[in-house]
Amino acid sequence: MRIRLRVIVLSISTISLWTSALLAESQFLSESRQLEEVLDSVRSFRQPLLSKRRIDYSPRAVVERLENISGARRRLEAIRWHDWPISQRIDYLLVRSEIDRAEFEYRIVRPWERDPGLYVDMVRDVAFTELPASGKTLENFREDLRAIPLLLEQAREMGVGLVSARVTEVDVTSNRVKGIRFSNGRHVRTQHFVNAAGPYLNDVARMLEVDLPVYNELHLKVAFRDPKGVLPRNAPLLIWTDPQELPWSKEERDFLAEAEDTRWLLQDFPPGAHTRPEGGPESDIILFLWEFQEKIMEPVFPPPMDDQYPEVALRGLARMLPELSGYFERSLKPQLDGGYYTKTRENRPLIGPLPFSGAYVIGALSGFGLMTACAAGELLAAYIVGADLPSYAPAFSLDRYQDPEYQKLLANWPDSGQL
Asked if residue 132 has a cis previous peptide bond (ω within 30° of 0), the answer is yes
376 and 309 together in one domain: no
**Domain of 371: which CATH number?**
3.50.50.60
Q: What is the pLDDT of residues 82-107, one digit of tens each?
A: 888 888 888 888 889 988 998 898 89
126 and 203 share one domain: no
What is the domain-level CATH number for residue 297? 3.30.9
Domain count along the chain: 4
Q: Is residue 206 part of a domain?
A: yes
pLDDT of 221: 92
Contact 265, 288 (CB under 8 A): no
Within a domain: 304 = yes
Residue 24 pLDDT greater than 70, yes or no = no
What proportions of the chain, in percent to the nearest 5, are helix, strand and coil? 50, 15, 35
Residues 285 and 303 in one domain: yes
Say whether both 380 and 336 belong to one domain: no
Q: Are residues 206 and 196 in the same domain?
A: yes
Structure confidence at residue 213 as a pLDDT band (50, 70, 90): very high
339 occurs within a structural domain: yes
CA dihedral angle for residue 83, residue 85, residue 91, residue 93, rounded to 10 degrees? 40
Proportion of the chain above pLDDT 90, given as a percent: 45
Q: In this structure, is residue 9 part of a structural domain?
A: no
pLDDT of residue 162: 76
Q: Is residue 248 part of a domain?
A: yes
User: Is 266 in the same domain as 372?
Assistant: no
Looking at 327, 344, 361, the residue that finishes a domain is 344
- Cα of 134 vs its chain's centroid, Å: 20
Domain membership of residue 134 as a residue range: 117-157
Q: Hey, what long-range contacts does 106-112 have (CB within 8 A, 24 or more apart)? A: 106/62, 106/65, 106/66, 106/69, 107/66, 112/57, 112/62, 112/154, 112/158
pLDDT for position 294: 85
Indicate whether 235 and 325 sit together in one domain.
yes
Same domain, 41 and 80: yes
The pLDDT of residue 19 is: 46
Per-residue pLDDT of 343-388, as tens digits, reads 999 999 999 999 999 999 999 998 888 889 999 999 999 999 999 9
**Structural domain includes residue 17:** no
Of 305, 324, 344, the last residue of a domain is: 344
Are 353 and 204 found together in one domain?
yes
pLDDT, tens only, 379-407: 999 999 999 999 999 999 999 999 998 99
